[in-house]
Amino acid sequence: MNKIKHFVHAYGEWIKHALAPLGPWGMLAFAAVDGSFLGLPLDAIFVSYVYNDRSRFLLYVLLASAGSALGSIVLYVVGHVGGEVLLRKRLSPERFEKIHASFDRHEFWALMFPAMLPPPTPFKIVVLAAAAFEMNFGHFLLAIFAGRFVRFLIEALLTLWFGPGIVTMTGNLFAHHFGWILAGAGALLVGWWIWRQRRRARAALGMDPSTSLRAGSRGRPPHTG
């Protein structure tokens, strides 16, 4: 395991130096490589870019998000061609059906939410699933970009406020308590979605207090004193 970690770190450093002449655009290329099949220590590289060039942190957030979306096109093509067969080989039937049902209900959120999460989230499996289940290509790119934007923006702000070590520490915490954190985040997301659906239903039935108040104010004659 230590040899694998050392190899990944060395490979990441080599890529970083190879892309150094590109300046900020190296972040775009690095994220694109990571977004395809070649997983790289993207968070560590992103944090180093932000920490060493703080005034352009938002540019790095945009470039990393765009690179991740562009790199995922490779997985989209693979998933679109034969992704369902690949997924059935790697996932249990129960897990496969659960992911399929999630995309049937709300495909955009089913992809954007995992895109927000750091490792060890099995994000590439979700990307393959999105392609295998024929998610709209434009929505596919937008969901990945939006999710990664949220993730990288949070990492950039943490780096600016507390230094690069806080991202590593947070990542280790997430890795060791992945199940609990994922369950908590999922519960919050489901709670928000239920609240949103109920509010829409109430508005459709004319039961939303804010809607009723606005309607009443429009129907009331102006006060003339």
Predicted local distance difference test score (pLDDT) of residue 70: 95
- Dist. CA 115–CA 148, nearest whole Å: 6
Neighbours of 110 (CB within 10 A): 21
Q: What pLDDT was estimated at residue 177?
A: 46
The packing angle between helices 123-132 and 137-162, to 10°, is 160
204 vs 163: CA distance, rounded Å = 48
> Quick one: which of 178, 171, 68 has its CA closest to 127?
68
Q: What is the pLDDT of residue 210?
A: 52
Q: What are phi and psi of 216, to 5 degrees?
A: -65, -40
Name the stretches of the chain with pLDDT < 70.
1-16, 18-20, 83, 90, 164-193, 206-225
pLDDT at 85: 72
Q: At what angle do helices 137-162 and 42-52 cross, to 10 degrees?
A: 50
The pLDDT assigned to 79 comes to: 81
Q: Which residues contact 118 (CB under 8 A, 6 or more apart)?
A: 43, 151, 170, 171, 174
pLDDT at 225: 47
Looking at residue 161, its pLDDT comes to: 87
